[in-house]
Amino acid sequence: MSSQPESLRPLTDPVWMQLISGQKNVDLKFLAAKILLTSQKLKYSLHPSDDQLKKSAEQFRDLYLKRGHLPDAKRDIAQYFRREK
Amino acid sequence: MMSKLCSVKETRSLLLAGKTLILAGEEDALDQLPRGKWIAGTIPYFMTSDGGLLTKEQIFVTEVPEFVINQKITYYNETAIKRVYEDGYEKGFTILIIPATSKTHFTFALRAPSFPEFASKPLIGWISGVDLADLGKVSPKIYNGANAQKETDGAIGIHCQLPPNKEADIGIINIFSQGAGDVIEFPADGFSVTDALINGKKQDFADYLTVNKIDTRYPLVSDYSGAMINVSFQKVDVSAHHVDLYAPVFKNLKYKLATPIEDYVAGFNSELEKLDATDIFFSCNCILNYLYGKLEGKKTKGFVGPITFGEIGYQLLNQTLAYLKIYGN
């Protein structure tokens, strides 16, 4: 497998919402992502609506837009999309 | 990058030379400093290169490196604290200090995950405190060196912008993990608990801890997508059916009691061995680790800084060592 990370897929990719809803679980490396993902999953569990799911997914993806170049973040991104290769 | 204990005189000299400093020390020592580019919080406990130490005369000094392009010091009150993440530079880091038991401490602990841009930029910091002998007699403080003002509420932050060739990132060292026991949930967010759901069944939480002879030196632990995040016990009052905590628990999160640690120092040093401490710019460790782990005089390899009444690594942490690395050419 290539060591290069996947480029960041758009918000329309189902993976982002699957991560928030808990349909997809991965072993994260990036501390900011671990904390943000848990807080967004918590928000969604308290307010389970399509709107909240989209907002939470967007905020989580935004973290990688800003900091996706960091080594731990790159590893996470690769994990999110690994099985779809 | 300089982080070490200094005398008041040495600290004054650094400030008069125009250095930007992040400070931790006793109130009497910090009161002697001139106006300048510094922020501070009160605490007399430190991790030093010679081991854990209580000193009321010296100040722990972290110097903001020369390569930092821009910096801004901001005081936040209880309302304004919600801006702390969005105020950070897009490429940089923020160090934040909040006085223990202040309104802002509780607001930040409970609400930070709802603040705009939460966790989107590196934000590390600590909760200021006092000598444990002065608990209840003296209030923890924060300082804004620009006007040499001290406050018992609010938060003081320094936002630093990094050049293109530098990166900042936060890590934590938590020697605790979830034990194999009961799953514990809480009906509401908060620092105080009456009832808990133990494996889904409602129980008086103080009774549960007492009947099961739980050692409350060890925290509740929640699994944040792989990061173990602690909530430490402050007080268990069986007659009042009340358990007080040093950080909030959150509704819908699952907690477990921590696996007991036989040897704190070995636990820390085992984790520290895995890390390269050379790029560490700032770190802080918890007063409960200092106390329960008997860290006075004992070294935590390469990690120096204040021993605090709570750590901040994006959000409030307990019984955790938090650190900020700055790396790049």
- Which of B113, B169, B170 has the CB atom closest to A39's CB atom? B113
Q: How far is CA B186 from CA B163, B200, B207, in A?
A: 44, 10, 15
Pair A39, A20: CB distance under 8 Å: no
Average pLDDT on A36-55 reads 96
- Flag residues of chain B having pLDDT under 50: none
Residue A2's pLDDT is: 34
Residue A12's pLDDT is: 95
DSSP, res B238: T
Chain A contact set for B225 (CB, 8 A): 28, 33-35, 37-38, 41
Rg of the Cα atoms in chain B? 19
Does pLDDT of A85 surpass 50?
A: no
**Which chain B residue is nearest to residue A62, measuring alpha carbons?**
B120
Residue A6's pLDDT is: 52
Residues of chain A whose C-beta is under 8 A from some C-beta in B? Answer: 27-29, 31-39, 41-43, 45-46, 59, 62-63, 66-67, 70, 72
Residue B223's pLDDT is: 97
Q: Look at A7 and B168; give whichever has higher pLDDT.
A: B168
Mark yes or no for CB contact A66/B121 under 8 Å: yes
Q: Does residue A60 sit in helix, strand or coil?
A: helix
Q: Is B279 exposed, middle or buried (0-12, 13-18, 19+ CB in 10 A)?
A: middle
Strand order in the sheet with B3-6: B3-6, B59-63, B21-25, B38-42, B142-144, B149-151
Residue A83's pLDDT is: 59
- pLDDT confidence band for A4 (50 / 70 / 90): very low
Torsion of CA B252, B254, B257, B260, to 10 degrees: -140
Residue A3's pLDDT is: 39
Q: What is the pLDDT of residues B9-66, one digit of tens each?
A: 999 999 999 999 999 999 999 999 999 999 999 999 999 999 999 999 999 999 999 9
Average pLDDT of the residues of chain B: 95
Question: Min CA distance, A63 vs chain B (Å)?
Answer: 5
Tell me the percentage of chain B whose pLDDT exceeds 70. Answer: 100
Q: What is the pLDDT of residues A14-30, one digit of tens each?
A: 999 999 999 999 989 99
Rg of the Cα atoms in chain A? 12
Residue B268's pLDDT is: 79
Residue B22's pLDDT is: 98
Kind plus residue range of the DSSP H or E element containing B324: strand B321-327
Mark yes or no for CB contact A27/B120 under 8 Å: no
Q: pTM of this prediction?
A: 0.95
